């Protein structure tokens, strides 16, 4: 081995470059470059079939601001996120606190996290069947208790709450486990001290657990809100009826991902789709910033 090779071999920068080569290639080719290209596309009338596009300046962004369906899909998505995250986080927090008090059993945690591991497509099909207006078991049970059958995915008013419910079913166990991991980091002696001071469960939860959980909760909220904004598989599979167009009935479940997807691949309107994705990216960055800021997520009271 030559002396020069020896020098290169031990130069920290050269070694690091070698180890970063494969991942760096993937980063540049499939993340960095496409991100730049998508931004460029958003200023063109790019068409996927034609494989090219001409510069149109801010046209796509102006169209988007005046597109009622875009704003409709944003409202639909926001409603979905609020319903989904509200129920899911509250339920997951309760589950995590209960697990923290009752058991460390891997079986319990395993069962609760199981739906998270199943493909969303499968989850969608499963609930499509369970919630089928005519033959589904849920309506059968509702009939039995006297509430009467519901349309669920087939009803413009119910489709978003139904989707939020299904997604909650899939993610609540996973979310609970994340919070559970955070609860485990709270020193036990703080609970003992609270008990000695005569604080009950409720008071301990509000005064000890929740404040100390704040950074974890902020992170969990960011992960689940950002993920929830990007719901796609479930809507694509479970809405629109058999053979119908996803996002239905009558666009009442047209979440932003489905709308973007439609423009990019059904309407050959990739430039417009890219512009909407760019707006979504900025929105998600802002949401992340405000959650972290609002909950002071990067600072812990434990330190």
Partner 1 sequence: MTSTTTASTDRPAVPRRPARKPRRPLRFRLSRIAAWAVLVLLMAGTLLPFYWILRTAFSTNSALFTGDQSVLPAEPTWVNFRRVLGLASPEEVRAAGGSGAELQFWLYLRNSVVFATLVTVGQVTCCAMAAYAFARLHWRGRDAVFYLFLSTLMVPPIFVLIPNFVLLSEVGLLDTFAGLAAPYFFMTPFMVFFLRQFFLGMSSELEDAARMDGAGHPRIFLRICVPVMAAPLTTAAILAYVMAWNEFMWPLVAGSDPSVRVLTVGLSAFRSGQPQAAPDWTGLMAATVLGALPVVLLFLAMGRRIVDSIRFTGLK
**CA distances (Å), 172 to each of 95, 176, 237, 260, 301, in order?**
9, 6, 20, 27, 26
**Is residue 25 a contact residue for partner 1 (CB under 8 A)?**
yes
**Which of the stretches 35-43, 59-67, 68-76, 147-155 binds partner 1 when contact is defined by CB under 8 A?**
35-43
Residue whose CB is less far from partner 1, 137 or 157: 137
DSSP labels, 76-94: HHHHHHHHHHHHHHHHHHH
**Is residue 288 a contact residue for partner 1 (CB under 8 A)?**
yes
Distance CA 214, CA 300 (A): 7
**Cβ at position 242, least distance to partner 1 in Å:** 5
With CB under 8 A as the contact rule, the residue among 75, 281, 293, 298 that binds partner 1 is 281
**Cβ at position 34, least distance to partner 1 in Å:** 4
With CB under 8 A as the contact rule, the residue among 2, 3, 4, 22 that binds partner 1 is 22
Number of amino acids touching partner 1 (CB under 8 A): 107
**Which of the stretches 57-65, 75-83, 147-155, 279-287 binds partner 1 when contact is defined by CB under 8 A?**
279-287
With CB under 8 A as the contact rule, the residue among 3, 10, 57, 68 that binds partner 1 is 10
- Site residues for partner 1, 58-77, by CB under 8 A, read none
Residue whose CB is less far from partner 1, 137 or 147: 137
**Is residue 102 a contact residue for partner 1 (CB under 8 A)?**
yes
**CA distances (Å), 227 to each of 15, 171, 198, 232, 235, in order?**
36, 10, 40, 10, 14
**Is residue 55 a contact residue for partner 1 (CB under 8 A)?**
no
**Is residue 295 a contact residue for partner 1 (CB under 8 A)?**
no
- Site residues for partner 1, 161-200, by CB under 8 A, read 169, 173-174, 177-178, 180-182, 184, 191-192, 195-196, 198
**Is residue 96 a contact residue for partner 1 (CB under 8 A)?**
no
Distance CA 209, CA 206 (A): 6
**CA distances (Å), 194 to each of 97, 179, 208, 288, in order?**
16, 21, 8, 33
Question: If DSSP codes are grouped into helix, strand and coil, which group holds residue 149?
Answer: coil
The secondary structure of residue 186, as a DSSP letter, is S
**Is residue 220 a contact residue for partner 1 (CB under 8 A)?**
yes
**Is residue 291 a contact residue for partner 1 (CB under 8 A)?**
no
**Is residue 244 a contact residue for partner 1 (CB under 8 A)?**
yes
Residue whose CB is less far from partner 1, 204 or 251: 204
- Site residues for partner 1, 256-275, by CB under 8 A, read 257, 260-261, 264-265, 270, 273-274
**Is residue 148 a contact residue for partner 1 (CB under 8 A)?**
no
**Is residue 81 a contact residue for partner 1 (CB under 8 A)?**
no
**Which of the stretches 18-26, 58-66, 67-75, 79-87 binds partner 1 when contact is defined by CB under 8 A?**
18-26
For residues 190 and 280, the answer to whether their CB atoms sit within 8 Å is no
Name the nearest CA neighbour of 64 among 234, 232, 288, 283: 283
For residues 147 and 139, the answer to whether their CB atoms sit within 8 Å is no
For residues 77 and 71, the answer to whether their CB atoms sit within 8 Å is no
> How is the chain split among helix, strand and coil, in percent rounded to 5?
75, 0, 25
With CB under 8 A as the contact rule, the residue among 58, 65, 90, 125 that binds partner 1 is 125
Residue 41 makes CB contacts below 8 A (sequence gap 6+) with 53, 270, 271, 274
């Amino acid at each position: 081995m030559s002396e020069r090779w020896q020098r290169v071999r031990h130069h920290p920068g050269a070694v690091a470059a070698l180890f970063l080569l494969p991942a760096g290639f993937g980063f540049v080719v499939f993340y960095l470059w496409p991100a730049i290209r998508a931004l460029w596309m958003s200023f063109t009338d790019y068409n996927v079939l034609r494989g090219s596009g001409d510069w149109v300046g801010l046209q796509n962004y102006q169209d988007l601001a005046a597109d009622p369906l875009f704003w409709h899909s944003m409202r639909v998505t926001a409603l979905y996120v609020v319903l989904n995250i509200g129920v899911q986080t509250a339920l997951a927090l309760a589950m995590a606190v209960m697990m923290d008090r009752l058991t460390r059993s891997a079986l319990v945690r395993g069962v609760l996290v199981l739906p998270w591991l199943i493909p969303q497509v499968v989850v969608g099909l499963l609930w499509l069947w369970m919630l089928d207006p005519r033959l589904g078991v849920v309506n059968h049970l509702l009939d039995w208790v006297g509430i009467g059958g519901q349309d669920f995915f087939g009803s413009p008013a119910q489709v978003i709450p139904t989707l939020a419910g299904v997604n909650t079913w899939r993610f609540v166990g996973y979310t609970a486990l994340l919070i559970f991991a955070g609860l485990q980091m709270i020193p036990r002696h703080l609970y003992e001290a609270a008990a000695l001071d005569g604080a009950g469960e409720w008071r301990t939860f509000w005064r000890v657990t929740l404040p100390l959980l704040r950074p974890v909760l902020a992170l969990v909220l960011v992960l689940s809100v950002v993920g929830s904004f990007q719901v796609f598989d479930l809507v694509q599979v479970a809405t629109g009826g058999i053979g119908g167009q996803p996002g239905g009935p009558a666009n009442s479940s047209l979440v932003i991902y489905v709308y973007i997807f439609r423009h990019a691949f059904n309407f050959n309107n990739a430039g417009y789709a890219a512009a909407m994705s760019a707006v979504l990216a900025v929105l998600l960055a802002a949401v992340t910033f405000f959650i972290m800021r609002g909950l002071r997520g990067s600072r812990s009271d434990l330190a």
